[in-house]
Chains A and B, each alone.
Chain A
Amino acid sequence: MSNIVVGISDLNICKGSDILVTYALGSCVGICIVDPVTKVGGLSHIMLPSSTLNPQGVVNPMRFADTAVPMLVRKLEAAGALRIRMKAKIAGGAQMFSAIGNGSLANIGDRNVEAVKRVLAQERIPIIAEDTGKNYGRTVHFSPSDGIMHIVSANKGKWDW
C-alpha cells in the first residue's frame, strides 16, 4: 500500500490498496470517483469552475471542473472501470477568508462545488457523500479499495465519508 499524492490542478487514478492523497484543499475541490466492483478509483484537485472563463484558452485541463472531471472519467474507463457503476464523493470548496469582496474570488468555493456537481450530473455519476463549504481547509485521503474518503482538517477534526 502506498500513497499517491495528487497536486494542485492535478489528477491521478489507482487500483488495489493504494491511497490517493491531496493536501490542504482550501477553496479548491477534490473529486473522488470509484467503481466499487473493479475497485479502480481516481482523485482530481480542481481550482476553478470553468475553462471557458480563461482568456488564454485552456492552459491545463486538470485545473478546471468542466475539463478535469471528464478527463478523470476517461482515465478510469481506460483502466477498466465501468461508468454505470461509478460513484463520486467530493470535498473542499471552503471560503477561507470571510470578507473578500473582490469579484473573481467572491464565493469561489461555492462556485467550484456547484460546477463539480453540474459536471458530475452531466456524466451521470451520483454523488454519494460530500464534505464541502464552511471555512476550513481539508486534506483528502481516498482509498478505492473500500471507497472511503477520509478527511483531515487542521483544527475541526477528522471524518470518514
Chain B
Amino acid sequence: MGIKDYGDLNEIHMDVLRELGNIGSGNAATSLSGMLAKTVDISVPKISVLDYGQVAEQLGGPEMMCVGLLLSLSGDVEGMLMFLLQKEFTHLTLNALLGENFHDFSEIDEMGLSAIKEVSNIMAASYVNAISSMTGLAINITVPDICIDMVGAILSVPAIHYANISDQIIYIEDEFHSMEDKLTSHILMIPDVQSLEKIMTNLGIEI
C-alpha cells in the first residue's frame, strides 16, 4: 500500500527513523565536539508526527528567539534539515571558535553568522553522511541559510512547504547538550513522504 501520508507510519518505521536520527546526530555531535574541544552529549531522538502549531510549542513556545539554519536535502532523499540553536548554545559556539563574547542576538556580526553557518554545515554533512552510508542512498545538502528570529516564524518555512501535502509534519528531533554548560539545541530532519518509502525499502523494511 505504500506510505502516502505521515500517518501511515507504523511503530517499526518510527523505530527505524529514530535509529537514523540517533546515528546522524551522534556523528554530528562528534564533529561539533571536535570543533569546540568540548564534550557534547546527545539524547535519544524523538520522532513525532505533529500538527504545525504543536512543533513550536514543543520547542519552547512560538515567540522564543533562536538561530535557525535551513538546509535542503536532495538526491535519493528529499526534505529539509533544520538546526534550531538556542542563545546559550550560540554563545558557546562563538566563544569557542572566535573567542568572542556576546550578550544578545543583535550583537552577532557577519563573522559570527558565518562561523555559525560553517558549524552547521559541517554538522549537517556528518549527519547526512551517516544516514547515507547506512542506507546506501545518495543525499546532497545545500549550504545553510541563516535566520535569527522567533521559533514559530522560522518553523513557518518548513510548515508552509509541507502544508500542501499534509496537515501534519514528521520530524526527527535530536537534542544535544554540553554537560558542563547545560546547553540544548535541536536538529530537525524533515523527510518528504516519498523519501520515507525509499529509506525503508533500502533498509529492507516492509512498507
Q: Which residues of B contact A42 (CB under 8 A)?
A: none
B52 within 8 A of A: yes
Known contacts: A24-B56, A97-B70, A137-B150. The answer to whether A9 contacts B163 by CB under 8 A is yes
Query: Is A54 part of the binding interface, using a Cβ–Cβ cutoff of 8 Å?
Result: yes
Q: A7-B53, A63-B163 are in contact. Are A25 and B153 (CB under 8 A)?
A: yes
Return chain B residues, CB-CB under 8 Å to A154. 63, 65, 148-150, 153
B65 nearest CB across to chain A (Å): 6
- Is residue B189 contacting chain A, with contact meaning CB distance below 8 A? no
List the B residue with the shortest CB-CB distance to A64. Answer: B163
- Distance between Cα atoms of A105 and B68 in the complex (Å): 16
* Of B62, B145, B147, B167, the contact of A59 (CB 8 Å cutoff): B167
Q: Which residues of A contact B72 (CB under 8 A)?
A: 102
- CB atoms of B145 and A97 under 8 A apart: yes
What residues of chain B lie closer than 8 Å to A26, measured between beta carbons? Answer: 149-150, 152-157, 160
B42 vs chain A, min Cβ distance (A) = 26
- Given A53-B164, A102-B72, A97–B147 Cβ distance below 8 Å? yes
Interface assignment of A60: CB less than 8 Å from any CB of chain B: yes
In the assembled complex, A71 has its CB within 8 A of some CB on chain B: no
Interface residue? B161 (CB, 8 A): yes
Q: Which residues of B lie under 8 Å from residue A53 when comparing CB positions?
A: 164
The residue among A28, A60, A108 with the most chain B CB atoms within 10 A of its own CB is A28
| Interface assignment of A96: CB less than 8 Å from any CB of chain B | yes
List A residues at the B interface (Cβ < 8 Å).
7-9, 23-28, 47-48, 53-56, 59-60, 63, 94, 96-100, 102, 104-105, 108, 135-139, 154-155
Q: Is the CB of A100 within 8 A of B163?
A: no
Is B53 within 8 A of A8, CB to CB? yes
B151 contacts the other chain (CB 8 A) = yes
Say what secondary structure dominates the interface of chain A: loop
Interface residues of B (CB under 8 A from A): 52-53, 56, 61-63, 65, 68, 70, 72, 105-106, 143, 145-157, 159-161, 163-167
B residues near A108, Cβ cutoff 8 Å: 160
Are A23 and B63 in contact (CB-based, < 8 A)? yes
Chain B residues whose CB sits within 8 angstroms of the CB of A98 once the complex forms: 145, 147
Contact of A97 among B62, B157, B164, B165 (CB under 8 A): B157
Q: Are A47 and B63 in contact (CB under 8 A)?
A: no
Which residues in B have their C-beta under 8 angstroms from that of A48? 160, 163-164
Q: Are the CB atoms of B149 and A137 closer together than 8 Å? A: yes
Contact assessment for B160 and A28 in the assembled complex, using a CB-CB cutoff below 8 Å: yes
CA A60 to CA B165, docked complex, whole Å: 12
CB distance from B162 to the nearest CB of A (A): 10
Q: Which residues of A contact B151 (CB under 8 A)?
A: 24
Instruction: Find chain B residues with CB under 8 A from A135 CB.
Output: 147
- B167–A96 CB distance below 8 A: no
Q: By the criterion CB–CB under 8 Å, are B145 and A47 in contact? A: no
> How many Å lie between the Cα of A55 and that of B106 in the bound state?
41
CB of A10 to closest CB in B, whole Å: 8
A134 to B177 CA separation, bound complex (whole angstroms):
33
Within the complex, the shortest CB–CB distance from B2 to chain A, in Å, comes to 15
